[in-house]
Amino acid sequence: MPVLFLTCVAAFALVGCKREAAAPRTVTRNDAIPVRVAVATNVAWDKTVSIIGTLYPKDEATIGAQVEGSVERTLVDFGDRLTNEQDIAFIDTGSYQARLDQAAGNLTRAEATLANARKNFDRIAELRKGDIASASDFDQAQAQLHQAEADVKATRGAEAVARLDVERSRVRAPFDGAVSQRMVGRGDFVSIGSPLFHVVNDSVLKFIFQVPERYGSYVQKKLPVTFGVDNYPGETFTGSVYLISPSVSTATRAFGVGALVTNTNFRLKASTFARGSLVLERAVPTPVVPVDAVVSFAGVTKVFVVENNVARSRAVSLGRVRDGLQEITDGLKPGESVVINGQTKLSDGAAVAVHAQESPPLSPKPALAKLETTNNTTDGKR
């Protein structure tokens, strides 16, 4: 009886195992990874290039002495504002005025001598017509006249030089601007060419910067430039291109560009470091995705593109970032769906279940965005 019972139990167990083995295993939708996606789209962004440079004064000059002598006095110091032709220093003006008076007296005497020589020549010429005066008397009177005329020319030139020296002894500003440095003071003896002041015209500044050669075909005069400086954080200044170098530096593979900047209320200082953007094109269609869609790991930048509920890993190249949107310069087309949430659970070929789909917001106005470049002086494709 016990043997029969064990035999029956073994038979039932064998039948159960065969049924369990025969039952097929099926994969359900519950195995798919839930994700949220967004559609890559185009937005109108200005095409720009990052720039770094210096604000130079439009005009600057080191004023040198045009006469030699002792500095009588200086009328301005560094930081003082100047107007064109304003007196800023005097150099031995008394001595040069005395020389002018002497030259003027010599000129008056020479002119009187010339007048007398002319009258004497006219008298001898009349006498010569009647053979009263000899030929030698006529020649002598004529020579005296010519000598007197030459003396007048020489003394008139000396008087003009003396008058010019008097003018040069009064040092004047060459243009509207400001004094950036004073090199001399009262009592200093200066020679011709000795530096006296350094002045700058800072009402208009030149923003000089370098642009990579690959953007050479885009850069034109009057293109807008925006920039900022460290002493006004968060504030933006503007200018427009007016200088473009005709050659590219072989050392940096870049060319120089200059933009004029109106220095309202003289807020900006000359020789200030500045950084900003040069607008190359307005409202260029730019492919973008939400910043959250981009995954960077082990030096690889990628996104997950959803195709038929399957996530595909796609390497991409990045550009600018603005308002939560990332520009994709290569590797993705507008209209493709990318995962923006749940990428940490994904691998290439993983099944996904899309729970929500979003689209990046379209900018109502063209956005001025900064081009992300690791080095503005090297070649490369954008």
Q: Which of 170, 255, 262 lies closest to 213 in space, CA to CA?
A: 255
Q: How many domains does the chain have?
A: 3
**Same-domain pairing of 301 and 312:** yes
DSSP 348-362: TT-BEEEEEEE-PPP
- Smallest CA-to-CA distance from 82 within 207, 181, 188 is with 181
Q: For residue 239, give the nearest of 258, 212, 253, 213 by alpha carbon.
A: 258
In a domain, 252, yes or no: yes
308 and 326 housed in the same domain: yes
103 belongs to a structural domain: yes
- The verdict on residue 84 lying in a domain is no
Residue 278 maps to which CATH number? 2.40.30.170
Q: What pTM did the predictor assign?
A: 0.65
Same domain, 277 and 303: no
Asked which of 241, 259, 282 is the last residue of a domain, the reply is: 282
pLDDT per residue, tens digit, the chain (382 aa), is: 444 444 444 444 444 444 444 444 443 456 788 999 999 999 998 888 999 999 999 999 999 999 999 999 999 999 999 999 999 999 999 999 999 999 999 999 999 999 999 998 888 888 878 778 788 888 888 898 999 999 999 999 999 999 999 999 999 999 999 999 999 999 999 999 999 999 999 999 999 999 999 999 999 999 999 999 999 999 999 999 999 999 999 999 999 999 999 999 999 999 999 999 999 988 889 999 999 999 998 889 999 999 999 999 999 999 888 889 999 989 999 999 999 988 888 889 999 988 876 655 554 444 444 433 333 333 433 3
- Within a domain: residue 196? no
Phi, psi of 124 (to 5 degrees): -65, -40
Any domain includes 66: no
User: Which CATH number covers residue 337?
Assistant: 2.40.420.20
Q: Is residue 197 part of a domain?
A: no
Instruction: Output the CA–CA distances (angstroms, integers) from residue 290 to 36, 293, 327, 353, in the order listed.
Output: 12, 6, 9, 19
Residue 162: φ, ψ to 5°: -65, -40
Residue that is last in its domain, among 282, 308, 323: 282
Does 117 reside within a domain?
yes
Enumerate the β-bridge partners of residue 241: 259
CA–chain centroid gap for 224, Å, is: 11
Q: Which domain holds residue 40?
A: 30-46+283-368
Secondary structure element (H or E) that encloses residue 47, with its range? strand 41-64
